[in-house]
């Protein structure tokens, strides 16, 4: 055999040896990599609870916009349904029907009258793991908003700040809608938001019916579901003393913020903090 052929043979053997070594090394590397990144070997992260935000009277779902954005940025699924604002029983039934469509744990949040709605809507929903009240009504069985709002002095909601308008009911009779006057919205409802926002809120307010204001509440969900309460200490709609009473009665984890009645609009960061505290308590 010529020296050239011998060299070629040696070279071929060297190359074959290197290839075999690389196959072994890369083979083990591939196995190790697959093992370390195998989804079947990793414990999936627990899903975040869905945050359901229920607005109150004279507000609408867009009042939650800043809160929605901040929660979504943190990866939480959020729904802010339109509260019908007709009467407590039917409004609660509607929100309950929304809860029926949600899989997994829920943090149910209510502002103002929305608090009375979530108090009733959450009953019977085992996946509602936390209730959050933002300057909200948390009635006991048989109580109405009218009773609670007059429990302590300080509310400016009344004949001087309300406009009444009749509306037709399905049975041919009439109901009565309650609207805030422009001055009432600025003093009793949203004193700490910019005046241009106050003007927009006045123009776009959704009234709620006098019937909803007087409806008696049913069995309260806060008796069986952990609750959180954010007291608005400068509130002229629901007196802060009444808010503290309701929070204490419900056994709620309570904090306070210096805001008007619309803390979710004027203090969205503080509102989100309370919601996140409730969400993170869910195991």
Q: How far is CA 265 from the centre of its chain?
A: 13
Distance CA 102, CA 83 (A): 17
Distance CA 168, CA 175 (A): 6
Q: Using only the alpha carbons of the chain, give its radius of gyration.
A: 29
70-104 pLDDT tens trace: 999 999 999 999 999 999 999 999 999 999 999 99
3-state secondary structure of 267: coil
137-174 pLDDT tens trace: 999 999 999 999 999 999 999 999 999 999 999 999 99
Our separate counts of H helices and E strands in the chain read: 11, 9
Domain 50-280 in CATH 1.20.1050.10: no
CB 97 within 8 A of CB 45: no
CB 111 within 8 A of CB 59: yes
CB 214 within 8 A of CB 146: yes
247-279 pLDDT tens trace: 999 999 999 999 999 999 999 999 999 999 999
**Phi and psi based region of residue 75 (left: phi greater than 0; alpha: psi -120 to 50; beta: remaining):** left
What's the whole-model pTM score? 0.84
Domain boundaries, the chain: 50-280
CB burial of 165-192 (b: ≥16 within 10 Å; e: otherwise) equals: eeeeeeeeeebebbbbebebbbbbbbbb
């Amino acid at each position: 055999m010529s020296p050239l052929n011998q060299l070629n043979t040696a070279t071929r053997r060297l190359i074959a040896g290197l290839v075999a070594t690389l196959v072994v090394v890369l083979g083990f590397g591939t196995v190790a990599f697959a093992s370390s990144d195998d989804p079947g070997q990793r414990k999936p992260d627990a899903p975040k609870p869905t945050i359901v935000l229920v607005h109150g009277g004279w507000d609408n779902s867009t009042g939650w916009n800043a809160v929605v954005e901040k929660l979504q940025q943190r990866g939480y699924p959020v729904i802010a349904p339109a509260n019908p604002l007709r009467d407590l029983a039917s409004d609660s039934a509607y929100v309950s029907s929304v809860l029926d469509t949600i899989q997994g744990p829920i943090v149910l949040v209510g502002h103002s009258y929305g608090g009375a709605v979530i108090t009733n809507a959450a009953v019977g929903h085992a996946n509602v793991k936390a209730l959050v009240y933002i300057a909200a009504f948390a009635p006991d069985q048989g109580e109405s908003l009218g009773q609670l709002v007059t429990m302590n002095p300080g509310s400016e909601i009344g004949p001087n700040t309300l406009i009444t308008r009749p509306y037709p009911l399905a049975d041919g009779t009439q109901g009565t809608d309650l609207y805030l006057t422009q001055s009432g919205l600025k003093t009793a409802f949203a004193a700490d938001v910019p005046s241009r926002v106050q003007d927009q809120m006045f123009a776009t307010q959704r009234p709620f019916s006098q019937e909803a204001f007087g409806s008696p509440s049913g069995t309260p969900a806060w008796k069986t579901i952990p609750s959180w309460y954010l007291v608005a200490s400068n509130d002229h709609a629901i007196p802060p003393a009444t808010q503290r009473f309701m929070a204490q009665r419900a056994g709620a984890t309570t904090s306070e913020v210096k805001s008007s009645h619309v803390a979710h609009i004027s203090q969205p960061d503080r509102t989100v903090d309370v919601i996140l505290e409730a969400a993170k308590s869910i195991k």
